[in-house]
Amino acid sequence: MNQTNQTIAKNASVLMASQLITWVLTLLLTLFLPRYLGAAAVGKLHFANSLWAIVTIAVTFGMDQLMVKEIARDAEKTAVTFSTSIIMRGLLYLVGFAAVVAYLRLLDYPTETVQIVYVIGLSQLFGLFIGAAQSALQGLEQMKYMSLATIAAKSIHTVIAISLLLLGYGVLAVAFVTVLAAGINLTIQIIYLRRLQPLRFSFDWRAGVAMLRAGSPYLFTYLFLVMYQQVDAIIISMLVNDTTLGWYSAADKLFGTFLFVPTVFMTAVFPTLSRMHKDEPDALPKLMRQSFNLLLLLSVPIGLGVIAIANPLMVLLFGAEFTQSGPVMAVLGLVLIFTYQNMLLGQFIISIDRQNAWTIVMVVATLATIPLDLLLVPFCVSQFGNGAIGGALAFVVTELGMVVAGLILLPKGTLNRSTAWYSVRVLLAGLAMGAVAWLLREQFILLPVLAGTAVYLISVIIFRVVGKQEWRMLQTVGAGIAQKFGKGKAAATAVGD
């Protein structure tokens, strides 16, 4: 393996290990926050994070991606590129902060909500600088330091936040912990960045304007992506109340943890697919079909299983106060099936140089989300007394629409009748599993989970869902994941030393 390939493999392994560790820490905090803070406080925290997610992506203005490219091409530009970006981010942050203040006053949010938004805003200021440091480290191909800082900050955040919750502190204290964690993350990254490249702060206004101009194409894509992910929370907070948003937040956070499966899948599979495609140029449709089939094989039992046990699952994890999160989680279980495929479709379409078409799909989905939320949230309040269900239903419509658009954008013949027949068999196996889990949903949650899993495995065998190609692919994926995690752990240990 040449030096370039070794660097890529090492960085991929470290990032994989970092992703696993931060996922576990995030899941742990996700389980504690709702149970100890309650629905209203969780809703306020979720609103603050969603609002600032949109503001910070606008403030970043596509500079992250631009910095990576510039520094990767010429490491000597690290200092001037980093310092120019830091100053531009700081100036744009002031504009963003003023917009947030005006928005909060216009809609007359409660005092505690405003305080939480301001505290989260301070952590996001650090986050903007962290983004610049991460981009510089990524351009220098030193992702291990970025991962180390992320793991250290996330660990401290999780430990201190859980400790404060156990001691009886409230949501404002938890919000301040995010500021501390962000400060630690930034400090670690700056220390390592200075070891790699001397940092001399200088600013050229013309260079700053040029950076914004060059970053604007990236801004457009990422702004719509973040808005698509966060606009539900903003609209729910406007139309209903913090408690309803808290119900939505608990389900949404848990939904996010289930996306670890396709994320790991994509990370492990696509390098293998790329190598196979290089050796067999005509094999791309076949490789896409295999990936589509395997993600369907994974997503259907997870999605339908979540639908069946959503109510007892949410009560078990978060307490009786989050009973209303159950229906929301059930709807998001259906969304999971579509989202898994969208992650694959989006990646594949981009890989065949049709990223502009996929960006248009994202824009349409984002624009459609707003009227859907405005229609479905009040409707679900009147029909079910739970507007959060409306936010989840809007997600169903947009994710399904993206699947349809993605399938249309695929080259002709990529998916065929065999794919359709495979999908039918997987769905039949999933429905059999879901029916059993649904019938046992009132029992201790482990019983429907185990029974449903057994039925799904038996159904998969009966319907001959997993053939030789699928088994071979599963073995390849498993080996890739094991290899990457193994290397990642070794690399993480080396960083720690």
Secondary structure (DSSP) of 219-244: HHHHHHHHHHHHHHHHHHHHHS-HHH
Same domain, 104 and 250: no
Same domain, 217 and 354: no
pLDDT of residue 428: 96
Give the range of the structural domain holding residue 12, as residue numbers without chain letter. Answer: 1-238
Q: How far apart are CA 86 and CA 78, in angstroms?
A: 12
Assess contact for 453 and 308: CB atoms under 8 A: no
Same domain, 269 and 122: no
pLDDT of residue 138: 80
pTM equals 0.83
Give the distance, in angstroms, between the CA of residue 122 and the centroid of all CA atoms in the same chain: 22
Same domain, 216 and 185: yes
482, part of any domain:
no
Give the distance, in angstroms, between the CA of residue 173 and the centroid of all CA atoms in the same chain: 25
pLDDT of residue 211: 83
Instruction: Read off the amino acid at residue 151.
Output: I
Same domain, 138 and 258: no
Same domain, 306 and 452: yes
Q: How far apart are CA 63 and CA 82, in angstroms?
A: 10
Question: 3-state DSSP call for residue 151?
Answer: helix
Assess contact for 257 and 27: CB atoms under 8 A: yes
497, part of any domain:
no
Q: Which residues have a Cβ under 8 Å from the Cβ of 89 and sit 6 or more positions away?
A: 59, 60, 63, 128, 129, 131, 132
Q: How far apart are CA 120 and CA 46, in angstroms?
A: 10
pLDDT of residue 494: 38
pLDDT of residue 12: 52
Same domain, 229 and 279: no
Burial class (CB in 10 A: 0-12, 13-18, 19+), 163: exposed
pLDDT of residue 485: 47
Q: Which residues have a Cβ under 8 Å from the Cβ of 162 and sit 6 or more positions away?
A: 28, 29, 32
Mean pLDDT of successive 10-residue stretches along the chain, which has 497 residues:
48 61 84 93 95 94 82 81 90 96 94 96 95 87 80 93 95 96 94 83 80 81 86 93 95 90 69 54 74 90 96 93 96 96 86 79 93 96 95 97 94 87 95 95 93 94 78 59 47 37
Q: Which residues have a Cβ under 8 Å from the Cβ of 284 and sit 6 or more positions away?
A: 277, 352, 414
Q: Taking Cα atoms as reference points, which of 295, 313, 315, 294 lies closest to residue 305?
A: 313
Q: How far apart are CA 123 and CA 183, in angstroms?
A: 8
Q: Which residues have a Cβ under 8 Å from the Cβ of 290 and sit 6 or more positions away?
A: 469, 470, 473
* Residue finishing a domain among 185, 220, 238: 238
